[in-house]
Amino acid sequence: MTEQSSLLLRKQLADDDDIYQWEVVVIGPQDTLFEGGFFKATLTFPRDYPLRPPKLKFVTEIWHPNVAKNGDVCISILHEPGEDKYGYEKPEERWLPIHTVETIMISVISMLADPNGDSAANVDAAKEWRDDPKGIFKKKAFPQPVKVVGEVLHAEYQASIGAKSERGSSITSSTWMSSRMSADTETMRVPYTITLT
């Protein structure tokens, strides 16, 4: 992997007083209908994590077979552990305490790249994806233009600079994504198209 294809995997608390809720931004994977999209989401952990899975909900509007109209993500890795009462998933495909935030986010990126139309949370999106993936479905895939989403994220970044300046922290990075780092964030290099903020 080249340095350019490697992005930062980061997390930041949505609320400094609640360690169970994180804000994340997923960047649409290359060579997919979601390429170029910035999708903001919340990752909410139950109090008994890692015995039970967190829940992922997109805040940015996204049209996808495995994302409910309210933004809830429906993928096997986020389903409660054990037997599937409908017989669709094997227990090993569901949540296991060995899963990490990284494995969850890799699954979300895979879901964006390769929707599962057989287990749809949004039946209308699944039908359009099967019938006309490069037509109607592509137009609805992420209705907020990338420019608008980028402007919103940039505005949030600008606001965070102001807040950090008031606290006496300095921002030294030349790129706004990497400069969102602060004392309450974790960073590691991974070769995936994702940024947790």
- Active-site residue numbers? 74
Query: Locate tokens 């994302």: which residue?
Result: 67
Find out whether 112 and 36 touch, Cβ atoms under 8 Å. no
* Residue-by-residue DSSP string for 59-122: SS----TTB-TTSBB--GGGSPSS--TTS-S-GGGS--TT--HHHHHHHHHHHHHS--GGG-SS
Q: 83 vs 87, 91, 93, 189, CA distance in Å? A: 8, 5, 10, 35
Ramachandran angles phi, psi of 64, nearest 5°: -155, 140
As a whole number of angstroms, the distance between CA 13 and CA 183 comes to 11
Task: Identify the DSSP state of 31.
Answer: T
Among the listed residues 60, 23, 20, the one whose alpha carbon sits nearest the alpha carbon of residue 44: 20
Find out whether 180 and 157 touch, Cβ atoms under 8 Å. yes
